[in-house]
Amino acid sequence: MRRVPLAMTLAAAMALAGACGEKPKTPKVDAAAERAAATERAKQGAFGDQVKALETAKGIEADVNRKAQESVDKIEKDAK
C-alpha cells in the first residue's frame, strides 16, 4: 500500500523538476560557417583528395544540370 503514494509522489516530483528547468540554450555557432570550416579542415586531412574529388563532381553535376535545362528550354522555345 505504501508503494502507490510513494510512486505518485516520485512521479510528481520528477514532473515538477522537469518543468522548472531552464530552457535549452541554442548554440551560438552558425551551422553554415561550421560546415565550411569542417570542409576546409577535411581538405587538409587524410581525406583531402576524396573531399576535393567530391567537390569537383558536384561542380560537374551542376554544370551538366544547367546545360540540360538550357537545352530543354531551347527545345520548348523552338516547339512554340
Per-residue DSSP letter, 45: S
Report pLDDT digits (tens) over 32-72.
899 989 888 888 888 888 989 999 999 999 999 999 999 99
Residue, of 18 and 15, whose pLDDT is higher: 15
Q: Does residue 61 form part of some domain? A: yes
C-alpha cell at 50: 576524396
Kindly give, in sequence order, each residue whose CB lies less than 8 Å from that of residue 39, ignoring residues fewer than 6 positions away.
51
Q: Does residue 43 form part of some domain? A: yes
Q: Report d(CA 74, CA 45) in Å as an integer.
A: 44
Residue 56 belongs to what domain range?
Answer: 29-80
Contact 42, 48 (CB under 8 A): yes
C-alpha cell at 17: 523538476
Residue, of 10 and 34, whose pLDDT is higher: 34
pLDDT for 42: 87
Q: Does residue 63 form part of some domain? A: yes
Q: What is the mean pLDDT of residues 22-31?
A: 73
Instruction: Say what the pTM is.
Output: 0.49
pLDDT for 70: 97
